[in-house]
Chain A
Amino acid sequence: KQEVTQIPAALSVPEGENLVLNCSFTDSAIYNLQWFRQDPGKGLTSLLLIQSSQREQTSGRLNASLDKSSGRSTLYIAASQPGDSATYLCAVRSYGGSQGNLIFGKGTKLSVKP
């Protein structure tokens, strides 16, 4: 059974710092991995999707990497801003079954202090 773990559960940094959020998964037979942002009381906003054949994806100040063999992904945020404060969720889509559903970690709650 696929399990997704995110470390740390919470992170507080001063504005301007570069930071890394970690995600690990137990079964490397994944179709893709997706990073989301969730603001309090809101739905999920997709940030980056990495297909299993890819090693990384970049969007603006965000860079996500994938090491499928070791079951790890990292989300790198450069020059953090107070507006980056949110919960960041990692989710994998596994082979087997309907391949439809995402399996999520519990998230990392990020606070960027001005």
Chain B
Amino acid sequence: GAGVSQTPSNKVTEKGKYVELRCDPISGHTALYWYRQSLGQGPEFLIYFQGTGAADDSGLPNDRFFAVRPEGSVSTLKIQRTERGDSAVYLCASSSDRPPDTQYFGPGTRLTVL
């Protein structure tokens, strides 16, 4: 596919459970970003990868959140001991590292914690 893909599109889990959200960036894009969007709000930054390494993880809310990108392509966002407040749409974006470094977004994963 030509665009950013995210799986699953919807995830319903119970409070306290562990979840993994997957992002497949556009082929060749070295930069990958995770954002979280709550209802009625703009997306909020979580973490940014340049290649395999996390260049900026300052947006992760606490140590229950962790993300990896072991081969510099696919990324997984992991949330431990989920809480109801984690319910949101999790968006992934990718970009090249050359201007214009437009960020292209995937359709998102809607996470609901019951």
Contact = CB atoms under 8 A, between A and B. Distances in A.
Given A51-B99, A105-B42, A97 B58 contact: yes
Contact of B106 (A41, A43, A100, A106): A43
Interface of A is mostly: strand
A105 to B, nearest CB: 5
A34 B102 contact: yes
Contacts, number: 63
Interface residues of B, number: 29
Contacts of B99: 51
Contact of A104 (B40, B43, B102): B43
Contact of B56 (A41, A97, A103, A106): A97
B66 interface: no
A49 B55 contact: no
Nearest to B58: A97
Contacts of B50: 98, 100
22 contacts: A32-B100, A34-B102, A36-B105, A42-B108, A43-B4, A43-B108, A44-B43, A44-B91, A44-B105, A46-B104, A49-B100, A91-B42, A100-B56, A101-B33, A101-B48, A103-B45, A104-B42, A104-B43, A104-B44, A106-B40, A106-B42, A107-B42
